[in-house]
Amino acid sequence: MPRRPQRSGKAGGTAKPSGPPLWVLLALVVIVLGSAIALLITAHTRQQVVASYVLFSLVVAVITFGILQSTGTVRRKDLQLGGAIVGFVVVLWILLRVPNGEMLEVAGDLYIDGIPPQTARICLLETDLADNCRSLEAGNKGHFVIRGVRAGQDSVRLEVTLPGPLVPKVVVRRFTAGQAIRLDLRAADFPVRDASAIIDTTSAALRACRSDLAAESELFYVFDLASSNLDAERCNAFLNVLTYKLERGIREHLASYQLLADIPVQVKRCTQVRVRQKAEAEAAGRALGAPGVLWGYAEENSGQVESVLSFTALAGRAQTVFSGVSSTSSLAELARVEQPVDGLFLALVSYLLGERYRSEGKIDLARRCLLHAKELDVLSGDIEEDLDRALEGLGGASPARSLEPIG
């Protein structure tokens, strides 16, 4: 039987395999090229730049080998590449060798509640370099220098991490080459991930602080100071004097305005319980059933003792107020009995006492206490808003007259 002749696409030739339609290749080029350009324009990290280079190389491979039907081969002893992969690899190799521009340094100083932290970690986000973090110790006094800012960049994002199970804080600052950045942050900016991770509200130390007089009096607690370089004996001596000064000074002040009635105000030390964050203060204060707690920390730097005292009020929603940074050559100077009690503490106690009177139906006393807290004119922010709402609820948003001390 005679053999059937074979057909060919062209005379004297062989059929070539058909590729994707031209419109598909053009659509792919437009999509990938647009993505590459957008990624390169918005790139902040080396990884994002490399990803854009990969997309550009893919576009070149599609155009040269998919549309123009070019060919190429790369041969080495241990490697042989052919086809579209050749253009992709060659273009990517060329792009990766292009310098990314000058890298500048960002320098600055970190303060937590006005004091350089003993330990901290600062990372420069969105940088081309992998070594973009610096660990700070006491000797650094809050100063840091990190290299990795690209020339022409007008702002930087820094992530600050403090020791303990605390949520890091990310801040954005304007950047000018050669100018230091000052980071003034508060301890309250670093909330505890889980307050129970540090404060055990069932601990023996916290249980020992509880008093049977809490229901009969307005009982405030003073926790131990957090400190990394002050010995416990000095801190205890300071807190003992401070507790005595606060109790005596607050009582005398409130009594002079006839605001005490039949509820005594007491301030008690809570030893062996150290609070570092407001979430811990809230958890410990509620476990004690206290209307408010006092806590803080102190550090010794260059012969000066710097301290920050904080008051957490627990009437309604918890509010924490910071007294500001105090600096002195001795802790004893901060608790001199002959000096008056800080007006901030007087206003807070008057506010909390007013809230207690209101809960007991003693409306006149409640209004007078709240008005007095308002007239001291030291509260601000959320706690002032709570105070105003409480006064409005009692019909005393506008004081009829100022209270005058007796005697």
Largest CA distance in the chain: 136
Eight-state DSSP code of residue 115: B
Rounded to whole angstroms, the Cα distance separating 44 from 149 reads: 10
The confidence score (pLDDT) of residue 365 equals 93
* Bridge partners of residue 143, in order along the sequence: 109
Q: Give backbone dihedrals phi and psi of 370, rounded to 5 degrees, phi first.
A: -65, -40
The confidence score (pLDDT) of residue 212 equals 67
Going from the N-terminus, what domains does the chain have, and what CATH number goes with each? 22-96 (no CATH), 103-189 (2.60.40.1120), 195-393 (no CATH)
Pairing of strands 143-150, 103-112: antiparallel
Cβ neighbours of 65 (radius 10 Å): 19
The confidence score (pLDDT) of residue 8 equals 47
At 252-268, the pLDDT tens digits run: 999 999 999 888 899 99
The confidence score (pLDDT) of residue 368 equals 94
Eight-state DSSP code of residue 316: S
C-beta of residue 334 within 8 angstroms of C-beta of residue 242: yes
The confidence score (pLDDT) of residue 14 equals 47
Distances (CA, A) of 332 to 79, 240, 326: 77, 10, 12
The confidence score (pLDDT) of residue 89 equals 61
The parts of the chain modelled with pLDDT lower than 70 are: 1-20, 25, 39-50, 53, 62, 64-102, 126-131, 150-152, 165, 192-199, 201-202, 212-215, 396-407
Structure tokens at 360: 């007991």
The confidence score (pLDDT) of residue 9 equals 46
Amino acid letter for position 18 = S
C-beta of residue 349 within 8 angstroms of C-beta of residue 312: no
The confidence score (pLDDT) of residue 101 equals 54
Residues 6+ apart with CB under 8 A from 58: 32, 88
The confidence score (pLDDT) of residue 347 equals 95
Percent of the chain with pLDDT over 70: 71
CA atoms 397, 400, 404, 406: torsion sign:
negative
Pairing of strands 292-301, 120-124: unpaired
